[in-house]
Chains A and B, each alone.
Chain A
Amino acid sequence: MSRLLALICTALVALTACSGSSAQSGPKTLRMTVWTANEAHLKLLNEIASEYKASHPDVTEIKFDSIPADGYTTTLTTQIAGGNAPDLAWILEESAPDFVSSGALAPIKAKVEKADELVPSATKLWEKDGELYAYPFSTSPFGLFVNTDLVKDLPATWEQAVAASAGKNLVLPDFKYQNWAVLSAIWRGWGASAWSEDGRQCGFSSQEMKDAMTFVHKAIFTDKAIPGPGTTVDFFAGDAAMAVSQISRAGALKDAKFGWTLLPLPQGPKGDYAVIGQAGVGVLKRSKNAEAAADFLGFFTNAANSAKLAQFFPPVRQSLLNADTLAKSNPLIKPEQLQSVVIDGISKGVVKPSHQGQEELNQTIRAALDPLWKPDANVSQVLDGVCAKIKPLLERS
């Protein structure tokens, strides 16, 4: 019943404020929504929380609320709509523009320890008017995982990667012919982008994009390197020659029964490049404990805790971004790989495409790209079609 009341409350007077956002005094509880349910991750998060509570007796509870990654943003926004917003939330890079521009998040720059040492390419997405609205706690470059039992000559270019994995599977684990943004890990090598820097011009019909997508199409249907639609092949079980994935996935290879290595993304016609996926953590402005939440965020992301988090989530602090520090928490990956994939990747990387109204763009582009995933597709025509569909969406914002 209280949910319903809360809902009615939000509904009827979301405009005037039913309960207001007046700060609560007395004991406080904080809730942070996260998309990991990994035990090791939660253990570390809870350790950091316990430490904070020990020094802040007014905060009696810090709860990490695991929401499945699939549909995470939908669940989060539904909670917000229902008047049940968390105090802190992890935010996916693709939702960053929506959250940052909407004013849903509280400014946090003042609370962040040594904010000036954060790598600018990593904070860009989370800033507005010089203020920081979420802390990029995980900045994970894409790399090429190679099964060295199946591939002997390590590829340096995309042509070589596809040739070496023909018939042996080059997988993009998160793509599934739905999450097209993952393909940016390939098309950046051709210098293509989904849209212009200001987000108003569609990039899908550019010649670079057409060349890149022709290459991808050929890799799927002619070279039989990338598994076709509806086929699932698991690199981490040893069934594929290569996988384009984020470094944070390396943990899944702890007990791998095959030899593997991690390489930077292969070169495209435009040479070297890097693509990163990001996650930020922000404070919801509507939280009754926004002040305390921001304070905890400062603690959660300070240099000491960032170093601890670095074993799962690559950090953005200059002082931590050296192969020696990272090697301590990433025993599976060699220091030179950390240097070439993670450190170089973060500094020169381009974040996966994101835009205001991202989810609507996601679905529209997904639908418009569907005709591409057939053997006889007309690549150029399909890509022109994508631009025709998303032009009004890009121009709206």
Chain B
Amino acid sequence: MTFWTYRRRDNLVGYLFVAPALLGSLAFVLIPLGMVGWYSLNEWNVLGGTFEFIGIENYQQLLGDEKLRDSLVATAWFAAGLVVLNLSLALLLAVLLNQKLRGTTLFRTLFFSPVLVSLVAWTLVWQLMLQPEGSVNGLLGFFGIDGPNWLRGDTTAMVSVIVVQVIKNVGLNMVLFLAALQGVPAPLYEAAKIDGAGAWTRFRRITIPLISPTILLTSIITIVGSLQVFAQIAVLTQGGPGTSTTVLIYYLYQQAFQFHHFGYGATISVLLFVIVAALTLLQWQMRRKWVLHES
């Protein structure tokens, strides 16, 4: 028997095919992930060039960090606002655009196009529009409304960041919902109509259950995405006014890259990792309860 049996040769070819992807994720995901864990156990003074093992001290600091608590609250507000607004708007648009009417293709394109725009360019333009003398207030002024200084008010800054992000990305969820809606078999609606179900009942009893896998998918994507919001904050508010829009990842950036606390920054990213993992796991568990076909 030779060493290179067909089986071994096949395996080798298989391994060679996955090798580039595997090496890539090893080098750029797994090793950095492990290193973040290691950094979080150390005090790393970049300027002084010292790197000192301090065990769980960074994690103890995490517990008593008031600014971290503020940023978790800001993150929760942002995530909640984004998910509720994004998903409901996306579903509404999808339902409207799922009608067989003239011009829907145009509107689909219009709502989807912001997804393709560069994020920073998008945010910079909105920054100009949201200035006190910007076009948003100009438009409001047209209707006799005296608009606020959007990016400098505690509540309006957060609302602005959420809305800018929703308009940017709502098209993506809309397309996913549209695809799901078109997969709902028409005979079901006909049968329901014959049974005397109204539009709302048909939507609640047929549409929602049948597109529930997509609702799960979009909500996971949107929640995880909301925890990663950075460029928008960096451009629009720099975490202000006060610390009202300092979300977790912006706080992480400040600690690691601005205040040079790399070890503590790594600790915050471990926390972020745990939060994302926990949320995803929770949603995955809950799918049995509310996603059709899963129980």
Contacts and interface: CB of A to CB of B under 8 A. Distances in A.
Given A99-B47, A102-B45, A231-B133, A78 B31 contact: no
Given A98-B47, A102-B47, A228-B132, A360 B39 contact: no
A331 interface: no
A11 B257 contact: no
Contacts of A285: 49
Interface in B50-65: 50-52
Nearest to A357: B259
B262 interface: yes
A75 B1 CA distance: 60
B240 A14 contact: no
A81 B152 CA distance: 34
Contact of A103 (B49, B133, B243, B254): B49
Contacts of A80: 46-47
A182 to B, nearest CB: 16
A104 interface: yes
B122 to A, nearest CB: 19
B217 interface: no
B259 A178 contact: no
B242 A367 contact: yes
Contacts of B50: 14-15
Given A11-B38, A231-B131, A370-B241, A104 B258 contact: no
User: Which of B44, B46, B149, B254 lies at the interface centre, i.e. has the most chain A CB atoms within 10 A of its CB?
Assistant: B46
A98 B45 CA distance: 11
Contacts of B96: none
Nearest to A15: B51
Nearest to A364: B67
Given A229-B149, A230-B149, A74 B258 contact: yes
A74 B260 CA distance: 8
Contact of A229 (B31, B152, B238, B246): B152
Contact of A230 (B52, B132, B259): B132
Interface residues of A, number: 35
A359 interface: yes
Contact of B260 (A8, A14, A232, A359): A359
A81 B260 CA distance: 9
Given A229-B149, A359-B260, A178 B238 contact: yes
A290 B115 CA distance: 48
A218 interface: no
Contact of B258 (A15, A363, A370): A363
A52 interface: no
Contacts of A371: 241-242
A78 B152 contact: no
A368 B242 CA distance: 6
Contacts of B151: 230
User: Which of B151, B246, B257 lies at the interface centre, i.e. has the most chain A CB atoms within 10 A of its CB?
Assistant: B257
B171 interface: no
B258 to A, nearest CB: 5
Given A78-B257, A363-B254, A371-B242, A102 B44 contact: no
A355 interface: no
B179 interface: no
Nearest to B51: A14
Interface in A1-28: 1, 4, 8, 11, 14-15
Interface of A: 1, 4, 8, 11, 14-15, 74, 77-78, 80-81, 98-99, 102-104, 177-178, 228-232, 285-286, 357, 359-360, 363, 366-368, 370-371, 373
Given A229-B152, A359-B260, A367-B242, 19 more contacts: A11-B38, A14-B44, A14-B50, A14-B51, A15-B50, A77-B46, A78-B257, A81-B46, A81-B262, A102-B45, A102-B47, A103-B47, A104-B48, A230-B151, A231-B132, A360-B258, A363-B239, A363-B258, A367-B246
11 contacts: A8-B31, A11-B39, A81-B262, A177-B152, A229-B152, A231-B132, A231-B133, A232-B131, A286-B49, A359-B260, A363-B239
Interface of B: 27, 31, 35, 38-39, 44-52, 131-133, 149, 151-152, 238-243, 246, 254, 257-260, 262
